[in-house]
Structure 1
Amino acid sequence: MEVVIRPDGEDIAGIVADVFERLLTDRPDAVLGLATGSSPLAVYDELVRRHEADRITFARARAFMLDEYVGLAADHPERYRNVIERAFTGRVDFPPDAVHGPDGAATDIPAACAAYEDAIAGAGGVDLQLLGIGSDGHIAFNEPGSSLASRTRIKTLTRQTREDNARFFGGDPDAVPHHCLTQGLATIMSARHLVLVATGPGKAEAVHHLVEGPVSAMWPATVMQHHPRATVLLDPAAASRLQLAGYYREVYASKPDWQVL
């Protein structure tokens, strides 16, 4: 796992956008994994700027979302398909039907989850997966206690997650759906490159466990320690609990020019 500590979210967004740009220059038909939440927003804004400057195109790319609420109407503003369209995909040149998400309105949930797994596999797998992390260590909606071998499935959201997401639902945790469909930890780990962004002091404890703690289902993101190519990008506040923060800074500052993230 490579840990990169940068001064602020804007600097982090530029570095992550460089990863996307490099990938899509080399492989215009790459498969991208997209996350919702606040962590990736600055990255999406930077990618939009580069698209508008004709530096990057998504015209041949495909994308898969990490998760979706269960039971929200198709036009609900917080349905993740609508959120990702507002934040990113509707602002660039993805082709129609190139962006896929779990079907939170499905009548047969197990079949919808299996179909989503098949769709990812049929696309050849995800080349670059963008991630955030919850204050309790979840990635996607894999809450504490999730199986490290899990695949796309229905999950019940913890009270903490619903409180964290209440700001998107008028500040009311009870307005946040109780269930979601989410890629499993094993699904996420199948992507070829994982890039996780975390900023702010509220993520410091989760980041400490992610980077320096034991691998445990109680802190689901720790499974990333087993990934052959995982990159974690942090601002100083999110990195404040790391014992080896000085070393991570030294390693990044000393990287050879040819060695990319």
Structure 2
Amino acid sequence: MRLIIRKDYDAVSDHMANYIKNRILEFNPTLDKPFVLGLPTGSSPVGVYKNFVKYYQNGELSFKNVVTFNMDEYVGLPRDHPESYHSFMWHNLFKFIDILPKNVHILDGNAENLEEECKNFEEKMKSYGGVELFLGGIGPDGHIAFNEPGSSLASRTRAKTLAYDTILANSRFFDNNINKVPRMALTVGVGTVMDAREVAVIITGAHKAPALAKCIEEGVNHMWTVSAIQLHPNALIVCDEDATLELHVKTVKYFKSIELVIDDLVGAENVGLQGNVKRYPTPEVTPTREAFYNLPFKK
């Protein structure tokens, strides 16, 4: 697992957006071989989506050969409701970029047969050869998508009854009226997310510090479903300084030191996007331990 620590939400968003942009460019998607990208909703990815729009407008990135699958959708909420995840994605990203509407896949919370809708969603992902990268955010209780505490770590896309705390938290989007909040949602499962060839998670804010600590420093636990990424061979977390408040100091220093080694000793040009060492250089001078730890940490 890779943990990248940045100063604040904007810096986290910039880093994650730039990383995904470079992953897409490196993949060099075509009509016959699209880049399949899993996407979340909520406050966490908004900054990333703003950067995606900027990249497209500046001519840095095209989404014509990108296929997307969204994590979740409310059950029973009209598709054009301002709080539906269809509306969220179109108003925050899709209508500003050149993605083809046929390449956008969002679960239909108004489908006549919800079980069949979830099954078809899984099959559609498989038809593209699986998801290349799944981007996610988490809740303060460590849930990813709508896989709340207690969800099976092997779960697949399904209809899910929402916990009371989730309904209460989401009431802020529904005029603070809990009676307007849907009671159910369709969501990809933890197992669905883990099937992606890469999982990248954004974690920001002091209120999510306990979840990050559980994910990084403790074992895999279905009560903190994001912790499942410990078992993924290619997992990336980008967090801000506030989210590290519950981590041990030595944990924070360890992950920051990894970046220092790459940037100042190995050389970023010798390391692939996903952290794989392409070539190990022979430095002319090896810094002393004291000199190494005096190198400035990234801000």
| TM interval, short-chain normalised | over 0.9
Tell me, yes or no, if the aligned pair for 1:33 and 1:64 is still in contact at 8 Å: yes
Structure 1 residue aligned with 2:178, among 173, 176, 179? 173
1:106 is aligned to 2:111:
yes
Partner of 2:3: 3
**CA shift digits 1:36-66 (9 cap, x unpaired):** 0000111111111111100000011110000
**CA shift digits 1:200-224 (9 cap, x unpaired):** 1111111111111111111111111
SS of corresponding position for 2:219: coil
Partner of 1:160: 165
Matching residue's letter, 2:256: R
1:252 is aligned to 2:259:
yes
The 5 Å alignment of 1:104-143 reads: 104-143=109-148
Give, in angstroms, the shift of residue 253 of structure 1. Answer: 2.5
1:75 is aligned to 2:65:
no
SS of corresponding position for 1:19: helix
Matching residue's letter, 2:75: V
Matching residue's letter, 2:179: D
Partner of 1:191: 196
SS of corresponding position for 1:5: strand
Matching residue's letter, 1:142: N
The runs of at least 4 consecutive aligned structure 1 residues that moved more than 4 Å come to none
Structure with greater Cα Rg: 2
Partner of 1:21: 21
Give, in angstroms, the shift of residue 135 of structure 1. Answer: 0.9
Partner of 1:241: 246
Structure 1 residue aligned with 2:91, among 86, 94, 102? 86
Partner of 2:279: none
TM-score w.r.t. structure 1 length? 0.97
Structure 1 residue aligned with 2:220, among 215, 221, 224? 215
Give, in angstroms, the shift of residue 254 of structure 1. Answer: 2.0
Distance 1:129 1:230 in 2: 10
Matching residue's letter, 1:126: V
Give, in angstroms, the shift of residue 25 of structure 1. Answer: 1.4
Give, in angstroms, the shift of residue 163 of structure 1. Answer: 2.5
Tell me, yes or no, if the aligned pair for 2:8 and 2:242 is still in contact at 8 Å: no
Give, in angstroms, the shift of residue 237 of structure 1. Answer: 0.8
TM-score w.r.t. structure 2 length? 0.85
Distance 2:228 2:15 in 1: 23
Across the two proteins, how many residue pairs are aligned to each other?
Answer: 261
Distance 1:217 1:174 in 2: 29
Distance 1:164 1:211 in 2: 25
Unaligned runs of 5+ in 2: 275-299
Give, in angstroms, the shift of residue 102 of structure 1. Answer: 1.3
Sequence identity, in percent? 38
1:150 is aligned to 2:160:
no
Structure number with greater CO (CA < 8 Å, separation at least 6) is 1
Give, in angstroms, the shift of residue 125 of structure 1. Answer: 0.8
Structure 1 residue aligned with 2:235, among 206, 230, 242? 230
Label 1:153 to 1:172 Cα distance change in 2 as closer, same or farther (>3 A): same
**CA shift digits 1:5-64 (9 cap, x unpaired):** 111122212221222222221332201111000001111111111111000000111100
